[in-house]
Amino acid sequence: MTETYLVIGATGAQGGAVAKRLERDGHGVRGFSRKHGDLADPAAVRDAFEGVSRASVTLPMVFDADLVARYVDNIIAAARHCERLVLNTGNRLPAARTSVGAFETRRDAADALLGSGIPTVVLRPPVYLENLHPSDGVLAYPIPSAHRVAWLAHDDLGALTAAALDRDDLVGTSTDIGGKDVVTGPDLASAFDAHYVPLEPDAFQEFMTPAIGETAAAGVADTYRWLSAPENANFYDGDPDRVEALFGVELTPIRAWAAR
């Protein structure tokens, strides 16, 4: 009998990549997103988990601590029977606590799920290649030029999540995942025949507000404000050889991705 895998956030870019990979691997997939219900509604979450053996969790772009805690409490209550949960934190997590809600709500979610007794794996990605939109020979992004970043493709996130959902040896772990290449801004731009321009977080927030709303845009921009400090230059660094060996996944080189 085919197992049913639940993908929370299935209509988003990250959750959608996970659903696509699981379907490709022959699994039955049930999606849950805002169009299906509200994670703050215990009954809706309970219905979503009915008959599900494994679940991938990508939380909505909400950074209110009390609301995210309610989401996570409902997931834990509904998922007691599950053989595996995989939480994608949507970002790396700093070693020490910060004042940035996008980091700390995900840190608390990871701690709660790992401590719930449900077999859980936590994946902590950097930023995604799909975020990039070079135009007229310019690649602008709100990361300082000299920062080294292990840019990750959504397809690779899907493959890494699929591995985590099926691998018993990964249960209880939290792993910084990333892509095949770890590059500075200018090295990244060269893959697109472009010039790298570090965008100011305030400008990024203004650009993102029409797409995701003022509150979410401010929350995301706060992560880049934190990242801009020189002492955080290695935050998005990575060890692609370790990630490939640990998950048994072949990661996509940036130039191969850019050439698609």
Pairing of strands 28-32, 4-8: parallel
pLDDT at 226: 98
How much is the pLDDT for 2?
67
The residues with which 163 forms a beta bridge, in sequence order, are none
pTM: 0.96
- Residue 33: predicted pLDDT: 87
Counting as low any pLDDT under 70, the low residues of the chain are 1-2
Domain 4-258 is found in CATH 3.40.50.720: yes
231-252 tens-digit pLDDT: 999 999 999 999 999 999 999 9
Q: What is the pLDDT of residue 137?
A: 97
Question: Domain coordinates of the chain in residue numbers?
Answer: 4-258
What length is written for the chain?
A: 260
Distances (CA, A) of 11 to 30, 33, 76, 88, 97: 11, 6, 21, 15, 30
pLDDT at 133: 94
Beta strands in the chain (DSSP E): 4-8, 28-32, 54-58, 84-88, 120-124, 138-141, 174-176, 195-198
Within 10 angstroms of residue 35's Cβ, the number of other Cβ atoms is: 8
